């Protein structure tokens, strides 16, 4: 089973790749508009924060149960 930390790490890696590709003007991403990539990157960061909140919430629930 995939853990939340693995999902978060994957999101960070994807976001980092997009940021580097935008910064370098990578020709492999020429099919995407830069604004679309920036929007995707922003959404991934929001998703990452949501995952982190779920991890905290789950941790808090475990603490209450114990």
The Cβ-side half-sphere exposure at 42, using a 13 Å CA radius, reads 6
Crossing angle for the helix pair 4-24 and 34-65, to the nearest 10 degrees: 160
How many structural domains comprise the chain?
1
- How far is the CA of 65 from the CAs of 17, 57, 62, in angstroms? 39, 12, 5
Give per-residue pLDDT as tens, 18-35.
777 777 776 666 666 666
Prediction pTM value: 0.48
Give per-residue pLDDT as tens, 1-60.
566 677 777 777 777 777 777 777 766 666 666 667 777 778 888 888 888 888 788 777
Q: Domain span at residue 10?
A: 4-65
């Amino acid at each position: 089973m995939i853990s939340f930390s693995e999902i978060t790490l994957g999101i960070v890696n994807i976001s980092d790749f997009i940021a580097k590709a935008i910064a370098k003007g990578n020709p492999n991403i020429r099919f995407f508009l830069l604004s679309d990539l920036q929007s995707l990157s922003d959404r991934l960061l929001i998703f990452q924060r949501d995952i982190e909140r779920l991890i905290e919430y789950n941790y808090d629930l475990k603490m209450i149960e114990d």
